[in-house]
Amino acid sequence: MKKLLLLLFFIPIIGYSQGKLSGAKQNLSSSSSSSSSSSSSSSSSSDDDDFVGGLFAEIFIDLFLFVGYEGLFGNLDARHFSPHPYYYDNVNGEYDFGAIEGDKRSLLNANANYFTANSIQGFETKINYRFIPVLGAELSHTSLFESNISGNTDHFNMTSLMLKYYRIRERSVTGYWGIGATYVGDEVDTTGFSYQVGLDVYALRPISLHSSYKQSFINDSSIDQLQLQLKYHRKKMGYYAGYNNYSLGGIRVDGFVLGAEVRF
């Protein structure tokens, strides 16, 4: 009887010690059959996140079919980059309509943030280079780590390279979509297709609002990331706080971020 009680006590501890990141890597590296069996045990924690990810995907697909080519690409009216947001009295955001002294034809942006969600912490770094006002490339790396009850630390690393088209280039609003690839390291060791949409609204000096959604298809599963940020701009620097929601192979990880960015 004593052995049975000890067994019943340690089974949940062993299961819990696996951690979310370990379960996410297992789901992302599994085939459809094994992935479905492993994810069923965590369905109670991931159903809401799967619904959110599926809802976003459905909205963007419907939007793509509705707006068509013209809506996705629009026109190529001349734009220039202002030195930084809120530099001019009549230009809140990144883009200016005319070439004024100090405006630029290209923009380099470096960004780093710290993420925390209970037992999971992490860092994300980004380098975004817009070689022309309408088109740019972004390289990003996310590293998450989790200390589990067994004393071990699980790691989850992913790197993305995205080509972004800046569809909305107004004085107070920047909107974009992009496609690219995401590589997931560690035990997953797989590269998959990614797409992304985002919006920056420069509503009130010196504040802006950022929102973005990215989905990456890895094996028979996906990685979904929703970002919501409130930014404070001071010349070429930006400081922000916000909320990140990840779905890593159906495993939900959500928490808060603090970060900074600089423009060149």
In this prediction, residue 85 carries a pLDDT of: 93
Are the CB atoms for 163 and 175 separated by under 8 Å?
no
Provide the sign of the torsion angle of the four alpha carbons 22, 53, 57, 116, taken in this order. Answer: negative
Average pLDDT for the chain: 83
In this prediction, residue 102 carries a pLDDT of: 72
- pLDDT surpasses 70 at 77: yes
If one compares 19 and 120, the residue with the highest pLDDT of the two is 120
- pLDDT surpasses 60 at 152: yes
191-205 pLDDT, tens digit each = 999 999 999 999 899
**pLDDT band at residue 29 under the 50/70/90 scheme:** confident
- pLDDT surpasses 60 at 14: no
Average pLDDT over residues 248-255: 94
If one compares 130 and 150, the residue with the highest pLDDT of the two is 130
Average pLDDT over residues 25-48: 56
In this prediction, residue 5 carries a pLDDT of: 47
In this prediction, residue 75 carries a pLDDT of: 72
The lowest-confidence range among 25-39, 151-165, 167-181 is 25-39
- pLDDT surpasses 50 at 93: yes
If one compares 103 and 32, the residue with the highest pLDDT of the two is 103
- pLDDT surpasses 60 at 225: yes
Average pLDDT over residues 204-226: 95
Average pLDDT over residues 105-115: 96
Beta strands in the chain (DSSP E): 80-81, 95-96, 107-117, 120-132, 135-147, 153-169, 173-184, 190-204, 207-218, 221-234, 237-248, 251-263
In this prediction, residue 157 carries a pLDDT of: 97
Q: What is the rounded distance in angstroms from the CA atom of residue 135 to the CA atom of residue 175?
A: 12
Domains of the chain: 3-263 (2.40.160.40)
The proportion of the chain whose per-residue pLDDT surpasses 90, expressed as a percent, equals 58
